[in-house]
Homo-oligomer: A and B are copies of this chain.
Amino acid sequence: MNNFSSSNLFRLADLGCSVGPNTFTAMQNILEAVQHKYQSQGLASKIPEFQVFFNDQGSNDFNTLFTSMPKERQYYAAGVPGSFYGRLFPQSFLHFVHSSYALHWLSRVPEELLDKNSPAWNKGRIHCTNASDAVVDAYAAQFTKDMEGFLDARGKELVSGGMMVLITLGCPNGMPYSNLPTGLMFDFLESCLNNMAKEVSNSTGLLSEGQVDSFNLPVYAASPMEITELVERNGCFSIERLELTNVRTEADPKLDEKACVMHLRAGFESIISKHFGNDIIDELFDRLVKKVKESFHLILSSCRGGTQLSVVLQRK
């Protein structure tokens, strides 16, 4: 608390904020938690000013973010364009970092996946699920490199004592991707794309096998063990909490096929249409709904070890 009150300004950042509104809720919750902590310690008169930095890549739609920002906010707001795998803020600038469902996006598809002469050439596949060891290793290596960059940058940007809350796709230690609901969904998507490529190559040509070969989802679900190793190797942070939970709670409505596809579509439509064009999208997701309906028992019986990784780190 002392670090924060010295300048009477609490600076927090949401990394990978997208266009809202989830980020506004998250930032407001953190702000209220900090205010509450001051109040509960009898320091209500010392509650700091708040400044919130909304970060996402430069290609993010900041116009939408800025125009939908809550009018009655209790903080000074700023948008910060750029990759969170590198430096975004000055030295010892931030008191709190939040990032939700952003860190599973790799900064890039590992190069070797696109190299026909590499053992990691990922022909006919769109992810490391069920892929060769070389592909799995390439994904893991890219995640390691990205996460090293992330921890290194945040280690410099956070004040001593500053907190970092990361929520991302996770995977139980040693569990193969194909046992995860996400892995299964990627598999179904891959199968739909491959089928379309086979059919279409004989007719309209909207989609070629070569296009599927060169498409890979830059997404990685890390295990608690991987995160622990990376944080310990970085050395700037103590792990305050690290747990895998199930995203669904008992309060959730029944999970159904359409909801599964809708979630996937919300997350990946943009990257798919960028590679394959808009014309295939509706057809692809119609097929995916059918595919998921046929194999929904696999989703239901897939990993229950949790796929949401929550990590709380403190800057030493």
Q: Point out residues on A near B: beta carbons under 8 Å.
A: 8-9, 49, 51, 53, 58-59, 61-63, 66-67, 69, 76-82, 87-91, 93
A21 to chain B, nearest CB (A): 15
Tell me, in angstroms, the Cα distance from A205 to B134 when the chains sit together: 70
Query: In this complex, what residue of B is CB-closest to A8?
Result: B91
Chain B residue nearest to A61 (CB atoms) is B63
Q: Which of A9, A79, A82, A89 has the largest count of B CB atoms less than 10 A from its CB?
A: A79
Chain B residues within an 8 Å CB radius of A82: 77
Copies in the complex: 2
| Residues on the B chain within 8 Å of A8, using CB | 91
Contacts of A59 in B (CB 8 A): 67
Name the CB-closest residue of B to A67. Answer: B58
Bound-state CA distance A87–B75 (Å) is 11
Contact between A77 and B66, CB atoms less than 8 A apart: no
Q: Whole-angstrom distance between the alpha carbons of A9 and B11 in the complex?
A: 15
User: Shortest distance in angstroms between A111's beta carbon and chain B's nearest beta carbon?
Assistant: 21
| Contacts A/B (CB < 8 Å), 21 sampled | A9-B91, A9-B93, A49-B91, A51-B90, A58-B66, A59-B67, A61-B63, A62-B66, A62-B79, A63-B63, A66-B79, A66-B81, A69-B81, A76-B87, A76-B88, A77-B82, A78-B78, A78-B80, A79-B79, A79-B80, A79-B81
B78:A79 contact, CB within 8 angstroms: yes
Docked pose: A35 CA to B67 CA in angstroms: 35
Bound-complex Cα distance A9 to B91 (A): 8
CB-defined contacts of A58 to chain B, threshold 8 Å:
66-67, 69
A88 to B67, CA, bound (A): 15
In this complex, the member of A61, A62, A69, A82 whose beta carbon has the largest number of chain B beta carbons within 10 angstroms is A62
- Top 7 A-B residue pairs of the complex, sorted by shortest distance between their CB atoms: A66-B81, A78-B78, A79-B79, A49-B90, A62-B62, A9-B90, A78-B80
Q: Which B residues touch A69, using CB under 8 A?
A: 58, 81
CB-nearest residue of chain B to A9? B90
Complex: A186 Cα to B76 Cα, angstroms: 37
Chain B hits for A87, CB < 8 A? 76
Contacting residues, chain B, for A78 (C-beta < 8 A): 53, 78-80
Contact between chains at A77 and B67 (CB < 8 Å): no
CA distance A81 to B91 in the complex (A): 24
Q: Which of A59, A63, A88, A91 has the most CB of B within 10 A?
A: A63
